[in-house]
Amino acid sequence: MSAKKRIRIALGLVAAGALTIGLAACSSGGTDGEAGGDGGSDELTTVGFVAVGPEGAWREANEQNIQDTFTEDAGYELKYAPATNLDQKSQIDAFTSFVDEGVDVILLSATEASGWEDSLKRAQEAEIPVILLDRGIEPDDDSLYVTRIAPDNVEVAKEVGTWAAATFPDGGNYVVLEGPAGVGVVNERNEGFDEGLGDAALTKLDAQTANWSAEEGKSVFETMLKSANNDIQLVFAQNDEMGLGAAQAAEEAGLVVGEDVKIATIDGTKNAMQALADGQLSYVHEYNPLFGETAMEVVEKALAGDEVESYIVVPSEAFDSAEAAQAVLADRKY
C-alpha cells in the first residue's frame, strides 16, 4: 500500500451560483441531488459520480448504496452519470463535463482500466479530487487520484484459488469464466486465483469471457463441456451471474453440482448465496459492495486536506458451505 497522501483543496473551489445542472444523463436519476427550497445549491457539496450503470446485481447494489449515502440530508448534491452501454467514451465525456461544471469531488467507477490519464490530469489542474470506486486504473499512478476504495480483488481471488487447491488435492480439470477484456478486475482476479492455486495439480482447459452475464455464462460453459466431453471438475466464475449460468448448463448436461463439478464465484449477491445454500454453487467469496459510508468519509477528509490512504480495502467474507450461506441469508442486503 502506498504511503499516505495529503490532499490540499484550494478555498473557493466553486463559487456560489456557478454550478449548472449539466449532463442530461445526470438529471435522469431519481437520486440526483436537487437543492431544496430556494433552488440554490451553494450549501451542498457537489459530487459527480461517473458510474458504470446496469451490469448485474453487484453493480446495482454498489451504485444504489452510493446514491443512498450522498443525499441532500447528508449535505450533498449527487450527480449520477451511468455509462451508456458500458462505453468508456460516455464516461470520459461525463467526467469532462463534471470538471467543466466545477463539481467539488468526482467519484469514478471505470468501465475500462486504461485511458484515464488525461482526464485525471485535467481534474487535478482544476483542483477537483477524484476518488476511485471499485476498479483501479492502468497504469496506476496514485498521484492522480485521492484513493481507491474497493475490496482487494487479488486477495479475494487468491482465497478462491487456495480453496480450489485444497478441494482438489488429486487434481482435475478446470475452466475460467471471465469478465470483459480490458477491465482491470479481470486481470486482478486471474492473478489472485493463479497465486492461490500455486503448484496445485489442477489442469486449466480453457478461459473465456462471458461478460458478467448469466446467459453468456450458461452458453459459454455449455460449449466448454461439449469440447471436454463433460470432463470438467471445477469452474471459476469471476462473478456470481456467470457462475449461476454455468450451474444451469451443468444441470442440463446431466452433471450434479457439488459432486461432478464444483463452481466457485465472486461477489456474494443474495441470489448466489441462495444458490450456495441450495447446493447449486460450491463456494462464494463476497466482494462487498456496501462502502458508501467509507466513500463519504474520504470525501470529507479530502476536502478538509486530511491524510488519506492511497488504497482503502473493504473487508469481504468467504462462504464455503450451504450452512454458512444459510446463516447470513436472512440479513443479506443485496
- Shared-domain flag, residues 18 and 31: yes
The answer on pLDDT for 60 being more than 90 is yes
pLDDT per residue over 9-37, tens digit each? 332 333 333 333 333 334 334 444 333 33
Whether the predicted pLDDT of 8 surpasses 80:
no
CATH of the domain at 76: 3.40.50.2300
The answer as to whether 54 is a domain residue is yes
pLDDT at 190 over 80: yes
pLDDT tens, position by position, 278-302: 999 999 999 999 999 999 999 999 9
101 with 13, same domain: the answer is yes
**pLDDT on residue 57:** 87
- What the block records as the C-alpha cell of 98 is 463534471
333 assigned to some structural domain:
no
The predicted-structure confidence for 125-152, as pLDDT tens digits, reads as follows 999 999 999 999 988 899 999 999 999 9
pLDDT band for 165, please (50, 70, 90 cuts). Answer: very high
Q: Model confidence over 99-110: pLDDT tens digits?
A: 999 999 999 999
* Beta strands at 5-6 and 307-308: parallel, antiparallel or unpaired: antiparallel
Range of the domain at 230: 153-287
Cβ 266 vs Cβ 160: under 8 Å: yes
- Domain shared by 11 and 127, yes or no: yes
Assess if residue 307 is contained within a domain.
Answer: yes
Among candidates 243, 224, 186, which has minimal Cα distance to 57? 243
Backbone phi and psi for residue 292, each to the nearest 5 degrees, phi listed first: -60, -40
Mean pLDDT, residues 198-226 taken together: 97
Decide if 326 is inside a domain. Answer: no
> Which alpha helices (H) appear in the chain, and where do they start and end?
24-27, 57-69, 88-101, 117-125, 153-167, 184-197, 214-227, 240-252, 270-277, 292-304, 322-329
State the total domains in the chain.
Answer: 2
Q: For residues 227 and 304, state if they share a domain.
A: no
